[in-house]
Amino acid sequence: MADSVARQLTGRTPEPFDGTDTSTALKLLGVRIATFGATRYDHGQTLEAVFAEDTDRYAKILLRQDSGDLLGGILAGDTGSWTALRSLWAAGRPPTWSGCSCPETRSATPSPAVTKEFTLKTIAFLGLGTMGSPMAVNLCRAGHTVYGWNRSDGRDGPLRAAGGRPMASIREAVREADVVITMLPDAPQVEEVALGPDGILANARPGTLLIDMSTIAPQHAITLAGKAAEHRIRVLDAPVAGGETGAVDGILSIMVGGNAEDFAAAKPVFEALGRTVTHCGPNGRGQTVKAASQLVLAINLQACAEAVVFLEKSGVDLEAALDVIGGGMAGSTALARKKANFLKRDYTPSFRMGLHHKDLGIATDTARAIGAAIPLGSVAAQFVASAVARGEADLDHCALLRGVELLSGYDHEEQ
């Protein structure tokens, strides 16, 4: 009975309860909520949020219609009640309210195995572009339920084919999600999708984990995490490196900023997307590491482009030369991935020059703010900016080669 459960958990006789009012039942059992505030169940909601936010709505998640004793069992740390809850969700029968009771023999001490167990299986993926689409597909293949949304139409074909579920609005995509992933061009788009009146924070359940895999400035990531915390939504910034090929093959490098426990919980999600997954520190640190990565990549690509023109103007067999360079200390992932592009002058974008230009703006602005000198990075940023100014923003960033050819008075087609 609700009276006996409340007396067992709180040590006092509760006010009268007729077994019909949700809010009253939760108040009876809510005195000990501090003990269970960190407990999570399969859909990511915390019991603390259940009591602190919308009691009538979330009581329906925690209570089942046929016996009415599930909430008491959960609060008493009963593993069977948690199993029953998961079974109801798996069967497509969300629990509804009919009362609350619990045998007095159940222990009031939560089981460690229960309090630590929760999974992140339902994912809303917002942003199905060049990177986001294959990432969402890989999450489907890993067994996750994926609801997809994109700002423009016509990008949901691969997700649908992989078994994902395209949604018409952010609200529809996020409202039942354990995890919301955003993969968007820049901070303005992230802020619109996350903070707008019809966005993530307005529609996701408290306890949801928001993983922003876009590349934005570190300070924007910190600000987003702070605003999300006001809605009891947890945030990780998790930008990626590896380009479209890495996204398709599921071998991205993922640099993560945020709470260590949230990172650990999200590890299975990250492992479906990447090969190298690293927790870099608190919110914003993932974006800081990504900025450094983009500095290194721009310098590397510029050096490769200069080497290509140097070798061709010297009359050397370019393919043979790049093979031997790639086998030594001068070899790099950038050279290996872009070798064919350099040889064929193929600038079909896997990562657009315009996006790299944006990323280098983040790096140079951050460097200025913290007082770090980046002379080579600044020069590389100028070469990228020059390419964008010439109308090459939609070409692959290995089109830096065109700028070196221009400076060298060299036309590959005439050779």
Catalytic residues: 290
Nearest-5° Cα angle at 167, 162 to 173: 100
Nearest-5° Cα angle at 296, 291 to 301: 125
284 touches 264 (CB < 8 A): no
CA Rg value for the chain = 26
Which residues on neighbouring strands pair with residue 209, listed in sequence order? 179, 234
Residue 211: which region, alpha, beta or left (left: phi > 0; alpha: psi -120 to 50)?
beta
- Cβ neighbours for 384, distance < 8 A, ≥ 6 positions apart: 298, 353, 356, 357, 360, 397, 400
Q: What is the dihedral sign for C-alpha 348, 354, 357, 361? A: negative
* Nearest residue to 218 (alpha-carbon basis) of 296, 286, 281, 280: 286
Q: What is the dihedral sign for C-alpha 313, 315, 319, 324? A: negative
Q: Which tokens sit at 52?
A: 């602190």
Spatial separation of the C-alpha atoms in residues 216 and 30, rounded to whole Å: 40
Burial class from Cβ neighbours inside 10 Å (0-12, 13-18, 19+) for residue 151 reads middle
**In angstroms, how far is CA 413 from the centroid of its own chain?**
43
